[in-house]
Structure 1
């Protein structure tokens, strides 16, 4: 059960400023997400559906119409040589239904009781009744080597040899015999895949770099004039445990080299190419992929900011989680450069799902 009604449908004017996003980025992400939705529920019933939260049921056709309308509006404004109406609060209020999100505080408080991480406990207990927790994630710029060294001695592995060529459904039918499901992250880090060789290492990281890559889901390596992208492929079937720290997680992800930053999808070749600052990860299984969401908060000057994002990614932390979204902020080497670029962003925001009228 939720703390209170999770959604309240309203038709009302907007205050504040529509900013901190580019219409071009929002349009590109909308099209990428719509392409995935058009594959149909037969392809991916987990994500391709209208979605719901408590009593409110979304309609998939309306979700698709909303994504199409974003690009239609953006392109009409470009052709007309005018400022994008996506940055006009009155236009947003007149053309979209506003579905306000209230967090599942009961779940958040239960998790807070279980975790030993005091900072996480404090954060979960401070979620307001009318706002959600906004965490942030980034693609990990990693210091790495393509060959093992004394310093870089923990590998990201490709899918094990005994699973190469198998579809996801074929692999699940054979999971009792496959290497992928046999080892925890700690066992892999201790060399369980090495003798005999059960999988091919594709990148070597430090211990902390490995845990960061597992958490972020992407590893980005800059080599001279080239940038290499590695994305999560399939995991060992162990659930993410929200109550413990990242270096204690038993879940291990196998990775694959990919052409860019990828978000939600069953296989790397099917995943949505996502864009920083307009992408959020969340509870795709319940909300449904492709929701246009307005995040509202006050900046350091006290000005109300409304920014538009699209639900185009997920993560293990969002299973049954209806109190949080995760904003893709960019690519960084670590906490220091990430924090410098994003310290102005709040922990809690008002979230409103927008649907084309």
Structure 2
């Protein structure tokens, strides 16, 4: 009897250790110091400042992301995230004054920051890995890095054969409502229809919302997937960003064209990342922005990542300032804002050298750093 109990205990212990090894975790570990750091400090500062401005709205405004949640389990607090973001602009200013590059100097970084190596939640990734080799081949010591871009499209102010699909503004029946007010009224147009019904023409037939611009199906899908689109209309460019969605979750088990999640849009001035409503969104920049699961990790964590290219390796830094439907309950992936391109082929040509997996750390300003 004692032997059986002991055997059961050992089996449980081994099983628990196996699960822990495949779950998300972070541990304090300094990266190897031999590689070059390739990050634009000024752009990193801009995104950090914009993210801080959103966090300043407070937990009461957006409790879903203004927190430290999972990171707090490993000793990283909300205050740590904010102090770290503030430090980036302080050190970027010093760069200008002293003609040095402090944020790209490894000795400087290790003096002022702690590094926490990320272990991916491969246990969850494997459950979704059927016919997805990138997930199937993901190891716990790596993070899957996908890339996203701002889509450049040609559009029209009226429906044409080439551009038959409208990008809609918020439906008329909630123009006067705040997001909080609208979300309590499930009878509104926004909650009634999935993407397939909208593509079938129900919004136009009932005149429920204003078309902002007309696009091809490919360009519309890019806008819905990425959240931002730049549209060229007779030589002039307009930027559109997501406003509010229909409350249907993105289903990773089905293809993008068959999804029923749908976004309504708003014309904006620049590339925008996360924000629970169009009135407060974070302006982001390519190559210093990651999208990820900010619902679990909190908005604004600073990621230090090793990019392994064919000919060399280098480090880059970026702020987690964006998210998307694919990042709900996703602690194994980060999405890198690569730039702006006129289509998927141009994007692939410019980014085919980028790695699919990265070594990644969270950077946190040390408690005694100034």
TM norm. shorter chain > 0.5: yes
1:24 to 21, 42, 56: 42
**1:166 maps onto 2:177 in alignment:** yes
Equivalents in 2 of 1:53, 1:33: separation in Å?
A: 18
Question: What residue is the counterpart of 1:111 in the other structure?
Answer: 128
Question: What residue is the counterpart of 1:69 in the other structure?
Answer: 87
Equivalents in 2 of 1:123, 1:238: separation in Å?
A: 26
Q: CA deviation at 1:24?
A: 0.6
**1:350 maps onto 2:359 in alignment:** yes
Question: What residue is the counterpart of 2:142 in the other structure?
Answer: 131
Does structure 1 conserve the Cα–Cα contact (< 8 Å) formed by 2:31 and 2:115? no
Does structure 1 conserve the Cα–Cα contact (< 8 Å) formed by 2:30 and 2:116? no
Does structure 1 conserve the Cα–Cα contact (< 8 Å) formed by 2:240 and 2:266? yes
Equivalents in 2 of 1:223, 1:36: separation in Å?
A: 32
Equivalents in 1 of 2:94, 2:144: separation in Å?
A: 35
Equivalents in 1 of 2:351, 2:299: separation in Å?
A: 26
The C-alpha deviation readout for 1:203-257, integer Å capped at 9, x for no partner, is: 1111122111111111101345632100011111110011221111110110110
Larger radius of gyration: 2
Note closer, same or farther for the CA distance 1:253–1:74 as it changes in structure 2 (3 Å cut): same
Q: CA deviation at 1:51?
A: 2.9
Does structure 2 conserve the Cα–Cα contact (< 8 Å) formed by 1:17 and 1:87? no
Question: What residue is the counterpart of 2:213 in the other structure?
Answer: 203
Question: What residue is the counterpart of 1:226 in the other structure?
Answer: 236
Does structure 1 conserve the Cα–Cα contact (< 8 Å) formed by 2:166 and 2:211? yes
**1:304 maps onto 2:308 in alignment:** no
Q: CA deviation at 1:14?
A: 3.2
**1:262 maps onto 2:280 in alignment:** no
1:88 to 77, 84, 105: 105
Note closer, same or farther for the CA distance 1:315–1:16 as it changes in structure 2 (3 Å cut): farther
Give the unaligned 5+ runs of structure 2: 1-18
Instruction: Give the TM-score normalised by the residue count of structure 2.
Output: 0.90
2:76 to 47, 58, 63: 58
Matches within 5 A, 1:169-180: 169-175=180-186, 177-180=187-190
The C-alpha deviation readout for 1:239-296, integer Å capped at 9, x for no partner, is: 0011221111110110110111000111222100000000010001110001010111
Equivalents in 2 of 1:275, 1:81: separation in Å?
A: 24
SS in structure 2 at match of 1:14? coil
Matches within 5 A, 1:180-199: 180-199=190-209
Q: CA deviation at 1:7?
A: 2.8
**1:78 maps onto 2:96 in alignment:** yes
Does structure 1 conserve the Cα–Cα contact (< 8 Å) formed by 2:154 and 2:233? no
Note closer, same or farther for the CA distance 1:179–1:5 as it changes in structure 2 (3 Å cut): closer
**1:35 maps onto 2:53 in alignment:** yes
Give the stretch that moved more between structures: 218-227 or 318-327: 218-227
Note closer, same or farther for the CA distance 1:123–1:13 as it changes in structure 2 (3 Å cut): closer
Instruction: Give the TM-score normalised by the residue count of structure 1.
Output: 0.94
Aligned residues: 348
The C-alpha deviation readout for 1:153-172, integer Å capped at 9, x for no partner, is: 11110111111121111001
Q: 1 or 2, which has the higher helix percentage? A: 2
Equivalents in 2 of 1:5, 1:343: separation in Å?
A: 29
